[in-house]
Amino acid sequence: MGAILCGLLIAASGQMRVKGSTAVLACVLCGLFLVGYGLSRWFLLSVAIAVGSGVAFMIYDVMIFTLAQVTVPFARRDQSMGLLTQTFGLNPIGSTLTGALAQFASLPAALFLSGGIVVVYSLVVLAPKCQFWDRSRSSPNVTVKSESRMHARR
């Protein structure tokens, strides 16, 4: 529910200037929602956290795909998008590890640890890249013009 509503909202909002900061914030929120979901004991709170998690995941996915297209040179864009898409195949590995941890500890502990790892990764690995991403070309028209010039030269 949250992902669908957020996808429509992002599509309607137009151009964002701080894509990098938005992606990092969304990633931190994803981790915090996992932690909250692991700690939640009330059904309605869990539903609200699930909706918030869908919103955060959608924002993160849209911003990362947009940044990959905007910051990578046209000649390498197909390779970078292929690599980025391939990372979605790693989701079952994380799910399997979280499930194994839940078997030995508990599901709340596994979700708490998984969310903590996401938050630490966001702050240690992604946050230092915010300034570069926020300064990247923000207008999609620039990319379209440069692409058409590259095709005209061939």
Q: For the segment 62-108, what is each residue's pLDDT rounded down to a tens digit?
A: 888 877 777 777 777 777 777 777 667 777 888 898 899 999 999 99
pTM above 0.85, yes or no: no
> Which secondary-structure segment (H or E) carries 149?
helix 140-153
Burial string for 121-150 (b: 16+ CB within 10 Å, else e) reads ebeeebbeebeebbeeeeeeeeeeeeeeee
CA distance linking residue 152 with residue 66, whole number of Å: 25
* 3-state DSSP assignment of residue 106: coil
- Give the Cα separation of 78 and 3 in Å (integer): 26
14: left (phi over 0), alpha (psi -120 to 50) or beta: left
Q: Provide the pLDDT confidence category of residue 29 given band limits of 50, 70 and 90.
A: very high
